[in-house]
Structure 1
Amino acid sequence: MKAFKILIAMLTSISSTTFAQNNIQLQNYPRIAGYVGLLHPIVTFSSAGTDTNFGDHYVVGMPTGINIWKSAKIGFSAEFVPTIRAENGTSKMANFMFHPGVLVALGKGWTFAGRAAFETSGRYGLTPVLNKTVIKGKSSSMFAALPLPLRFGNDRPTTFTIGFQVGLAF
């Protein structure tokens, strides 16, 4: 009889712990996170030729976004990216992009973002992004990302770009 009471106590303890862990997990999702960053297109390829940044011009994007995680594995992201272009001693806002997409956690700090892209320049396309958290803090983290934009439209050739992004998520 004593063994039976011990078994019941252990099962109750395990059930209570499991319930508490599940209850905590339910309270964490959906989870909302924001981020800001700097985006540098490195090289762009098209039928018109290859264009590299940091040469006769410099382009920088300033992505700001909101991630809504439905679970620990999947989420939605809305990103807004103004782009500034500097050349010949002057600079201007060259483009603004709305960049919605799906987030897939890959584990060990890696995330895949599959994004659609809609630009004020009249271009549109897709942007797969591979993201890695490089420094994780209590209330914020730093990340690095490899965006690979593919763009179409506006009577211009299709382009494929390799970029580099760094940012702060909070």
Structure 2
Amino acid sequence: MRQCIILTGCLAVLFTSTVYAQSKGATDGFPLKITGYFGLVHPVATLQNSDIKMNFDNSYSVGFVSGISFQKNPKFGYSLEIVSMIEATSHSSTVKNIVIQPGVYFPLKGGWTITNRFSFETNGRYGITPSVGKVLVKGNHPVSLTLPLPMRIGNEKDFSIGTAVLFTVGI
């Protein structure tokens, strides 16, 4: 966990620092854009040990996403997400997990974005989460739809891969 915090801090400094020459400030014609967002992620299915677990089988899980993005140039940016996962059954509900996800994103034409994140879960699992997203509503508070593909290992469990649907609103 300590290495994750140090890595995240180093990446944040790397992507947000500005270096100036002796004679003139270098801006590359693209100002630093810092944006925040929040949203909901709905896991759909997870494959582990040849067993597929659907979200509504025995419980319902939903994640509350908050994130911040730093874009230094038009080709890529850095993003940090924190996701609180809640699991509800017919008898109770609980915070199942907190997921910390630093990563890089690559904006494409037409409002599409490809993102790859490192993922660190408080339950001891870790891995990567590649995703593809699309801005559905542009403006001051853009609405996006993203399809993440979480891949996890660790905590003495076998490899798992899942699918989810993420809706976000920019702030």
Q: Do Structure 1 and Structure 2 share a fold, with TM-score over 0.5? A: yes
Cα RMSD, aligned residues only: 1.6
TM-superposed CA distance for 1:73, in Å, is 1.6
Cα shift at 1:29: 2.0
Q: CA deviation at 1:30?
A: 1.2
Q: Shift in Å at residue 70 of structure 1? A: 1.1
TM-score by length of 2: 0.81
Cα displacement (A) at 1:44: 0.2
Provide the C-alpha distance between the structure 2 equivalents of 1:130 and 1:25, rounded to a whole number of angstroms. 27
1:163 is matched with which residue? Answer: 164
Residue aligned with 1:108, SS? helix
Instruction: Give the structure 1 partner of residue 78 of structure 2.
Output: 76
3-state secondary structure, aligned to 2:56: coil
Alignment map for 1:9-158 (pairs within 5 Å): 26=29, 28-47=30-49, 49-137=51-139, 139-158=140-159
Instruction: Determine what percentage of the aligned residue pairs are the same residue.
Output: 36
Which structure features the higher share of helix residues? Answer: 1
Once residues 110 and 28 of structure 2 are traced to their aligned partners in structure 1, the CA distance between those partners, rounded to angstroms, is 19
The answer to whether the 8 Å contact 1:48/1:157 transfers is no
For residues 48 and 155 of structure 1, what CA distance do their matches in structure 2 show?
17
- Over 4 Å off, 4+ runs: none
CA deviations over 1:68-126 (Å, ceiling 9, x no partner): 00111210000000100001321000000110000101111000111000010000000
Structure 1 stretches lacking a partner, 5+ long: 1-22
Is there any run of 5+ residues in structure 2 with no aligned partner, and where? Answer: 1-25
Amino acid at match of 1:159: S
Q: Larger Rg: 1 or 2?
A: 1
TM-score, normalized by length of structure 1? 0.82
Aligned pair count reads: 146
